[in-house]
Amino acid sequence: MRILIVKQLFNPEPTAKSLDFAKELVRRGHEVEVLTGFPSYPIGKIYPGFKQRLYKREHMEGVNLIRVPIYPDHSASGFKRFLHYLSYALSATFIGLWLIKKPDVCFVYQGAIPVAVPAIVLKKLRGVRFVYDINDLWPETVATSGMLTNPKALKVINAWCNWNYRNAGFITVCTPGFKKKLTAKGVPAEKMQFVSNWSRDRIDDTPLDQQRYEKYFKADAVNLLYAGNLGIVQALDVVLEAAKAFQGLADQRINLILLGGGADETRLKEKAADMGLDNLQFIPRVQSEEVSMFLNAADVLLVHLKKDPLFEITIPSKILAYLKSGKPILMGLKGDAKEILEAADAGFAFEPDSTEDFIRAIHAFLDLDGQKRKALGVQGAAYYQKALSLESSVDAIEEKLEMLCRKS
C-alpha cells in the first residue's frame, strides 16, 4: 500500500506513533509518506537547524516527509494554541495536498481536531479513505485543562469532532475508555477498535553501576521504585505516608525510591525530611537512556495518579514501559489501566489516594516468594509483547488500512 500519514508532530519532536511507526510500515513493504509541520513541540518555537519556508522535503531512515509551515505556540493561551493547530491544518490542506503522491489510504493521528481537515479534503476530492487515531478526547481535553470554558465554543468543537468521526473510514482509540465515551456520543461501536500506543522508552538489560546501586538501593530489602514526574496529579504523598508506617513498625523489608523531578518535588522532599524518613530515597532526574538501568535495579515498580474520573480512561505511558521492562508493578489506578494490569497478571492494584490500600498491596507483594515475584514481571513482559507492543499495534492498524483499501 501507499500510505500517507497525516500528523502535525513528528520526529525530532517527542510524540507517539512517529518515526518508529512509519519505519515499521516501511519494513512491512509499504510505501510511506508523512505530511507534518516544522518541529516546535514542546518549546513553542521552531527547532534550531530548521527554518520555516513554504515546504520542505526530507528523507528520514527510509521514510519520505513533507513539512509545511505552522504557527508555533505551546503557551497556556487557548486561542494561540488553537491557532497553532489550525495553522497546520490549513498548510497541510492548501500546500501539502498539492505535493503528496496520491495514497491508497491515509492514517491520521489526532492530537487536536483540526488535523483531520486535510484528510477529509483528500477523501472528498480524491476518494482516499482514512483511519482516524484518537489520542485526546475533544472537547473534554480543552475543557478539563481550562484552556476553553465558553459553552458555545465547546459546542462548536463537539460538532466539529462529530464531523470528523463521520468522515473517518475507521477509528482507533488509545484506551478502551475512549471507545465507551465515543459510543455514548453516537459513534458506532463497530467502527472503532482499541489499539494501544506502545512504549517508546529504550528498555534493555544494562545493570546499574555499583556506586549508584549502593547509594540508593538496599541489598537486604525489597526496593520499590517510582520513576517519572513528581507532579501534583501523581499524588505521591501516599509513598511518604507508607514509608512512615513501615518505619513506625520497625519493618525494614521495604525501601521506597522516587526517581525524577517536577512541580511537587521540593514539597515532597521537605515533607520527607520533616517526617524523618530513613526508608525513602530521592534520585534526581536522569537521562532517558539511563532510566532502564534503574528499573533493572528495582524489585517492584510503582505507578500512581490521584483519584479522578479522567484517569480511569487513561493509560499512562509509564505502565507500558514498566510492563516492557519485565518487572512486577504496584498500581494506584482504576479503570483501563487496572484492567491491563489484571489482564497481564503483572502485579497488584490498589485504591488511588489510599495509603492503607497501598500498604496492603505492598504486603501482598512482600508475602510472595522470589520465584512468584519474578513470574509477575515475566507475565507482564509477555503480555506487553502480545497486546501492547509496536508490532502488535501495527498489526491491528495495518489490518484496518488494508480493509479501507479493499473498500475504495
Q: Could you give the domains of the chain?
A: 2-198+390-407 (3.40.50.2000), 210-388 (3.40.50.2000)
Q: What's the grid cell of residue 353?
A: 489516594
Q: What is the 3-state secondary structure (H, E, C) of 144-166?
A: HHCCCCCHHHHHHHHHHHHHHHH
pLDDT digits (tens, 9 = 90+) for 154-201: 788 888 889 999 999 999 998 888 899 899 989 999 999 999 888 887
Sign of the torsion angle spanned by Cα atoms 178, 182, 184, 190 = negative
Report the candidate in 41, 97, 49, 94 with the shortest Cα–Cα distance to residue 71. Answer: 41
Judged by average pLDDT, the poorest of 28-32, 91-95, 358-362, 384-388 is 384-388
- Per-residue pLDDT, 144: 60
- Output the average pLDDT for the chain: 91
pLDDT digits (tens, 9 = 90+) for 129-142: 999 999 887 777 66
pTM, entire model: 0.81
Mean pLDDT of 144-152: 67
Q: Taking the mean position of all CA atoms in its chain, how far away is CA 168?
A: 23
Packing angle, helices 117-126 and 151-167, rounded to 10 = 40
